[in-house]
Amino acid sequence: MMTRRCLSIILAAGEGTRMQSRLPKILHKIGGLSLIGHVIRAMPAAAGNDMALIIAPGAAAVQIEAQKLAPKAQFFIQQQRLGTAHAVLAAEDLLGKNYDDIVIAYGDTPLIRPQYIEKARQKLAKGADIVVSGFYTEAPQGYGRLVEKAGRPVKIVEEKEATAREKKIKLCNGGFMALKAEHILPLLRAVGNKNSKGEYYLTDVVALAAERGLEAQVLEMAAEDIVGVNTQAELAAAEALWQSRKRQEIMAGGVSLQAPETVYFAYDTAISADVFIEPHVFFGTGVIIAAGAHIRAFSYIEGATIGKNAIIGPYARLRPLSRLADNVKIGNFCEIKQANIAEGVKINHLAYMGDVEIGTDSNIGAGAISCNYNGYNKEKISIGAGAFIGSNSALVAPLSIGKGAYIASGSVITHNVDDEALAFGRARQVNKPEGGKRLKALLSLKKGQENH
């Protein structure tokens, strides 16, 4: 475990105009979590480590989002966009404090892995003064190049400033950087802006470090781990990479995915071993699934907890605050919302149960619904253990149905039902001899008159 004190700096002041969206770029989501959220989760979070985010003026939404995951983070405003080195200097008051390591990442690189952060810090602990991330690619166009001498990086050159020889270099700048804290302020203050953009580039600290005889090292990473997001197309590509990574992680934990490429996970999806997931299942945030559950095809699940050996779907929808105990069965075209469903309950066909508590071993028939919203407020329904709710029943909240109660099919239940009671809530059937024949004749005549 690292004992060195670390300050993580996340650069999050970019405009992101190429996204063509009113939503700030770093608030777009991958796996249900914002881009900035992914980067925050990758940063060192142990006691004694701090975090600073550099944001643009008026970026309240970015600050609110970041504080959800890093409530102790400090925020600094880059008043003018004069380059990345200028952005880091916005946190100058923190940089002079008693840290060992400074790590700098970009808020639009959501696929960076925590282990790379730790590897960079380990290099600092073993004697490096600055560690820069790099990746090899056969198509380096558009990237800054890492220029090495005797196996050490001596500068990073942006493509616009690169010579023809430098443009042939296939080792590219990954963006992420780590420095010993004692060097960061002298290096940043020495950065100039004599370049095509007239900006202060953070990457220039590599050349400055080499000039001063400091030890610089490259941390080689896979290109996909430091991919940046600047457009909607790049966001979709990053989502695909992230989903592929998450699927591998899920399967490595003992979960069976019948068609992995069709299943979509959220960043916090938690699934135990021996769960079986059929094709075309979507997991929103906040899903927890216990061992032995079976999720059938085309189901949509968010904010739900599913117990052991439960069977869900096909074509089921579980909405937030659904809590399903062991051995529950939720069948095709059923929707569950804000429900506590006890062990052994069966809701097999075409039912809606919202704002309900259902006791053990109850059966909810096809087409049964909870009428839990009166146009102004949500009301609760309680169904006791062993109750039977007949098909096409409408349960009008607020309502309590007792243990072992039996609700006749087609009933509209508006009053509480006692334990073991049989409840009918439907009009008495009346049969009219030859009434059907007369009605059809009348309707046929009316239709003929309308056509003339």
Same domain? 139 vs 272: no
CATH number at residue 221: 3.90.550.10
103 found inside a domain: yes
CA–CA separation, 48 and 113 (whole Å): 21
Same domain? 80 vs 171: yes
Q: What is the model's pLDDT at position 220?
A: 95
437 found inside a domain: no
* Parallel/antiparallel/unpaired status of strands 300-301 and 317-318: parallel
For every residue of 253-271, DSSP letters joined together read: TT-EESSGGG-B--TT-EE
Among 226, 250, 267, give the residue marking a domain's end.
226
Q: Which one is catalytic: 28, 294, 349, 415?
A: 349
Same domain? 270 vs 286: yes
388 found inside a domain: yes
383 found inside a domain: yes
Same domain? 205 vs 312: no
Tally Cβ neighbours within 10 Å of residue 17. Answer: 9
Smallest Cα–Cα separation from 396: which of 374, 424, 376? Answer: 374
Tally Cβ neighbours within 10 Å of residue 166. Answer: 17
Model-level pTM? 0.91
What domain range is 288 assigned to? 232-423
Residue bearing tokens 């790379």:
116
CA–CA separation, 325 and 299 (whole Å): 18
Domain count, the chain: 2
CA–CA separation, 24 and 22 (whole Å): 6
Same domain? 195 vs 337: no
CA–CA separation, 148 and 387 (whole Å): 74
Same domain? 215 vs 247: no
Q: What is the pLDDT along the chain (452 residues), one digit of tens a residue?
A: 568 999 999 999 988 899 999 999 999 999 999 999 999 999 987 777 999 999 999 999 999 999 999 999 999 999 999 999 999 999 999 998 889 999 999 999 999 999 999 999 999 999 999 999 999 999 999 899 999 998 899 999 998 889 999 999 999 999 999 999 999 999 999 999 998 889 999 999 999 999 999 999 999 999 999 999 999 999 999 999 999 999 999 999 999 999 999 999 999 999 999 999 999 999 999 999 999 999 999 999 999 999 999 999 999 999 999 999 999 999 999 999 999 999 999 999 999 999 999 999 999 999 999 999 988 899 999 999 999 999 999 999 999 999 999 999 999 999 999 999 999 998 888 899 998 899 899 989 988 887 76
CA–CA separation, 236 and 34 (whole Å): 13
Q: What is the model's pLDDT at position 374?
A: 87
CA–CA separation, 288 and 348 (whole Å): 21
446 found inside a domain: no
Q: How many helices (H) and strands (E) in the chain?
A: 9, 35
Between CA 325 and CA 332, with CA 326 as vertex, the angle to 5 degrees is: 80
Active site residue 415: no
Among 226, 260, 293, give the residue marking a domain's end.
226
Provide the phi-psi class of 121: left if phi over 0, else alpha when psi is between -120 and 50, else beta: alpha
Widest CA span in the chain: 105
For every residue of 196-209, DSSP letters joined together read: TT----TTHHHHHH
CATH number at residue 351: 2.160.10.10
Among 170, 203, 226, give the residue marking a domain's end.
226
143 found inside a domain: yes
Per-residue tokens: 154: 């001596």
Distances in Å between the Cα of 82 and the Cα atoms of 79, 145, 433 are 9, 21, 88
